[in-house]
A and B are shown apart, each in its own frame.
Chain A
């Protein structure tokens, strides 16, 4: 995929809770970290991009390398191109890990045969192949997120949207998730919302900072770190300071 274009999108939970007003933004292929404080609209933006919710106005379009566009109103087509892992992912009861991923693929429009064939690859990509026969609801929190990711990835989507996938995970599980993220195809548009700025350098290609429904920054990781004071040498410190500068309104 080439990019996902968000044009003049507005969304409000109620007349008093307006999240976006005429938002314009584009995500390119590669991995993008979506940063922002709580309430900035990160999860809402990902939900809009995943087509879980619809904008009250404006359009979201996925553009492939040939320039073909799929609008969010073409729901079925649009959803086939999107993989989504919500922050509060929880598996379907009564299914094993293997069955869960197959069911995810089928829900995404894959034939039974294709879903069956693609499942081992998806499980292997997230390191759950050894737990294939275990009940999905018996997995640990980190394993469940990986299961959710396997389910999201099984149909080879062009757009991967992950909402705080490492929140609440222990350092070992976070490392594991970083490795999985690193292994994702660079041709995909991968957008990951996160609070963990230490994950940015080395994992992501682009950064978007969202504050109060407005885009404060949209650029490469290097451009983002360049905002940090020259005194900061460690890349992690540079990311943290840059983020603080955007969020606290210094820039």
Chain B
């Protein structure tokens, strides 16, 4: 009924899309979402800052237009909900367009993906906009546009930001921004986080609609009673929305993810067997590098690994007693990065061992020496010279050295000067000792 072209939401649409595009260009790292449609759509949760602000501001402006008029809406026959929907649909659509454009740009940035489009996350983010329409409607009904508009912007923005930083984790999922934490290639979204967002947003919208009706004050019911009933119902609905949302998200972790089932991984026929998820293989298959690196290190005396997976450490330890190694594998990683990931496994496993506090720093430092050795010996046999040049240098060892005590960089230099056999003997002995929270014997000077 209202003219489609002259709606405040459309004024804000282009700026909203431009801001989203700039944000994606500037702040979203390609590596984080590469070949992963789920991570790309989840990353668009951050764009709620623009889409939700657009929705709340335009809703406040729309509702403010009726509020500032006199003589029409007071005795309307149409229900307030119907009028609100006629008023608010452009806000929803414009907000959804901003979110959708962001999703499309992120999917383009992510490139082709073996994952299916994560409909649940996308729907969750669109539904989140209802809550912000409710904020705009309530404030637009309550106060003049000059106050309602900046306040709607501030409340939307602050709600998103406030919830993001809240220590009680389930609160984060009520706002939706925290969905951005989904997902590494070995993870998938925890549906409870999205359901929490959806339930809270829809119920919250109705809570704000009731509050809006209370403050806009239809006086047809006996004076006072109507507003009291609506205010109470609105507040109660918001409380129920929050409680239900928190209940649904009660078991969601700091990141809204669950481990991807290992059954989805694709395993190589090599020895050791390497199992990576399709996303990790979409930009190049590095399974052979992993297999070769572990095979080389086993030959040098390090514990033998039978199977290599890439899963969350809660699902599989970094290095299990039955010879399963859990490595980091990112889509599109180079061979040298894959080798570094494989060869670091033994040192990384040591950092998960709980040792007495007085030895922790030393264990960490010695683990770094072991890591440097593992990477170098594996690289010498697996990578060609060009690939080896991209490996990290050993400057890290200087930073972990303890002044006046152990100079780990010096120890590394001494180790490098030993012959290959002595190096392997020292490394395997050091790994055994460190696994039992005992510090290795310092490297004695020697020649290659």
Contacts from A to B (Cβ < 8 Å): 50-54, 56, 75-76, 79-80, 82, 84-86, 88-96, 99, 102-104, 106-109, 112, 115, 148, 151-152
Total of A-B residue pairs, C-beta within 8 Å: 84
Q: Does B77 belong to the interface (CB within 8 Å)?
A: yes
Identity of the chain B residue whose Cβ is nearest the Cβ of A155 in the assembled complex: B77
Known: A89-B71, A115-B1. A107 touches B78 (CB 8 A): yes
Shortest C-beta distance, B323 to chain A (Å), equals 71
Binary contact track B71-103/A, C-beta < 8 Å → 1, others 0: 111111110000100000000000000000000
A79's partner among B8, B77, B221 (CB-CB below 8 A) is B77
B75's partner among A84, A94, A99, A106 (CB-CB below 8 A) is A84
Residues of B within 8 A of A84 (CB): 71, 74-75
Known: A93-B65, A99-B3, A103-B2. A50 touches B70 (CB 8 A): no
The A interface, classified by DSSP as helix, strand, loop or mixed, is mixed
A91's partner among B3, B69, B76, B219 (CB-CB below 8 A) is B69
Number of interface residues of B (CB under 8 A): 25
Binary contact track B3-37/A, C-beta < 8 Å → 1, others 0: 10011100000000000000000000000000000
Q: Does B119 belong to the interface (CB within 8 Å)?
A: no
Shortest C-beta distance, B79 to chain A (Å), equals 9
Shortest C-beta distance, A54 to chain B (Å), equals 5
Say whether A54 contacts B220, CB under 8 Å. Answer: yes
Shortest C-beta distance, B328 to chain A (Å), equals 55
Residues of B within 8 A of A108 (CB): 76-77
Q: Does B448 belong to the interface (CB within 8 Å)?
A: no
Instruction: Give me 23 A-to-B residue pairs in the complex whose CB atoms sit less than 8 angstroms apart, sorted by A's number.
Output: A50-B75, A53-B223, A54-B220, A54-B222, A54-B223, A56-B223, A79-B76, A79-B77, A80-B77, A84-B71, A84-B74, A86-B70, A88-B70, A92-B68, A92-B72, A94-B7, A94-B65, A95-B3, A99-B2, A104-B72, A107-B83, A108-B77, A148-B71
Say whether A52 contacts B219, CB under 8 Å. Answer: yes
Say whether A107 contacts B72, CB under 8 Å. Answer: yes
Residues of A within 8 A of B8 (CB): 94
Shortest C-beta distance, B222 to chain A (Å), equals 6
Measured CA separation A80–B77 after assembly (Å)? 7
Identity of the chain A residue whose Cβ is nearest the Cβ of B74 in the assembled complex: A52
Shortest C-beta distance, B57 to chain A (Å), equals 15
Q: Does B66 belong to the interface (CB within 8 Å)?
A: yes
B219's partner among A53, A82, A151 (CB-CB below 8 A) is A53
Measured CA separation A80–B71 after assembly (Å)? 14
Interface centre among A80, A92, A108 (most CB of B within 10 A): A92
Residues of A within 8 A of B78 (CB): 106-107, 109
Residues of B within 8 A of A56 (CB): 222-223
